[in-house]
Amino acid sequence: MDVIQNGINGQLVNSKTDKHVPVFNPATGEQSASLPISTVAEVNEAVESAKAAFPAWSNLPPLKRASFMFKFKQLLDENADNIARAISKEHGKTHADALGEVQRGIEVVDYACGMPGLLKGEFSRNVGPQIDTFSDRQALGVVAGVTPFNFPAMVPMWMFPIAVACGNTFILKPSERDPSAPLLIWELFQKAGFPAGVFNIVHGDKSAVDALLDHDDVQAMSFVGSTPIAEYIYTTGTAKGKRVQALGGAKNHMVILPDADMDQVADALMGAGYGSAGERCMAISVAVPVGKETADKLIAKLKPRVESLKIGPATDADAEMGPVITKMAQEKINGYIDSGVEQGAKLVVDGRGFKLQGYENGYYVGGTLFDNVTTEMTIYKEEIFGPVLQVVRADDYQQAVDMINDHEYGNGTAIFTRDGDAARDFANRIQVGMVGINVPIPVPVAYHSFGGWKRSLFGDHSIYGPEGIHFYTRLKTVTTRWPTGIKAGAAFAFPT
């Protein structure tokens, strides 16, 4: 059985820990690897490696740093299929879905290749008598990232390519559940020729995260995961003087107005609600049809599609949805379905007890559809992170808007309509960070930035894109005057 290794100072190394946890193939329920819970000393070793690499790396011309990044992108393109297969084996998502994840990560690497132009500052001549001012963005130093299981390749690539292209050195603590894809990416990074220590990877649990938060040489921390942990990392990290961006949970709504194309809506909800078994922070988990007629039409369209959802392992090319990540996740999702029934929601399609012939021990949950869900129910309030779509009926447009704005999460939302005035009003008034107009999963492209509002994001900066550059750099402004023979004498008033 494979034992997952750490990547420190450019080398694959075995952890000296005596504590390991299993990595499973969720399609079969079988253990596929063993992952070390790295020691604090090993985390510190990674930090020391990154610290040692920082001075030379940060002083390298940005164009030279970009040349490494171009080579890295080429290797990612050539190995995208292998990375996707590693994702599917440990996460369970379909191969097509995994390939899409890898591609969206590569797009951020592509953006990072343009860093020489993106780091350019501003210059003003003669801001005062023969005085010039210029600004510069400089790297922070050693920075770290903690990433979730649901996008083991893409989310790390939302972080480290921007960070290292800006001149920082990076330490990644990936999820314990699917570590092989990020480790494969780390190996390609080394193959691209980056200096040792620029990018390190250390596996572990909360003790590794705390070690990074406690270390004085770690200047910043990026995180994507659940809201309770995001809040913990933000409060702990900022209390220790670190810069923190911590992306948390979500409860994403799609509003459907009466004039929407219902076939388009049903297609969008199937992909956005059940793709990746609903294990996406941008999944649509709440459909909000406006008016009884709209809601009835929506249920009629969705019910047969959910019932005929093709569920299977990633090795099945026809599968539309795979298993969930762990046995614990499977039980938790089933518990939410139980709760919805107990609290009075109408269970239109029940995904509990789904079994796939030949994969009876896999962690499968069938597509589930609820109708007549209310905002007081647990399944509405909490993030389920599974293939459970809820229909919450709204009497009118204003009620739908208020429902979304009143929710504690503000990650993503969408509206489906032909009415441009309503769409514009929705985009303007809704208190959510990412909005789709007839787009179900409005994840911004690499040259924009990703981030929610309210309890979906802790910190002042969203991730990747221009916001990512601002997060991983500090602004420095320099004002200069050179001797010219002018003797103005001492000035005691504030300079103007």
Residue 398 has pLDDT above 90, yes or no: yes
Residues 6 or more apart whose CB falls under 8 angstroms from that of 476 comprise 135, 136, 137, 138
State how many domains the chain has: 2
194, 167: one domain: yes
Q: Please, which pLDDT band fits residue 486 given cuts at 50, 70 and 90?
A: low
279 in Cβ contact with 150 (< 8 Å): yes
208, 278: one domain: no
128, 230: one domain: yes
49, 30: one domain: yes
What are 336-386's pLDDT values in tens digits?
A: 999 999 999 999 999 999 999 999 999 999 999 999 999 999 999 999 999
Domain that holds residue 149: 2-248+456-478
| Residues labelled catalytic | 281
- Tokens, residue 333: 């999702």
237, 273: one domain: no
The strand pair at 20-25 and 243-247 is best described as: unpaired
106, 172: one domain: yes
Q: Is residue 310 part of a domain?
A: yes
For helices 95-112 and 80-91, give the axis angle rounded to 10 degrees.
Answer: 130
Residue 444 has pLDDT above 90, yes or no: yes
424, 467: one domain: no
| Distance of alpha carbon 467 from alpha carbon 411, whole angstroms | 16
What are 284-337's pLDDT values in tens digits?
A: 999 999 999 999 999 999 999 999 999 999 999 999 999 999 999 999 999 999
CATH, residue 305: 3.40.309.10
Closest CA to 366 of 301, 409, 314, 307: 307
Q: Is residue 486 part of a domain?
A: no
Percent of the chain with pLDDT over 90: 96
- In this predicted structure, what is the pLDDT of residue 485? 65
CATH, residue 463: 3.40.605.10
321, 412: one domain: yes
Closest CA to 56 of 194, 162, 221, 191: 194
- Tokens, residue 175: 């999820």
294, 216: one domain: no
389, 465: one domain: no
pTM of the model: 0.95
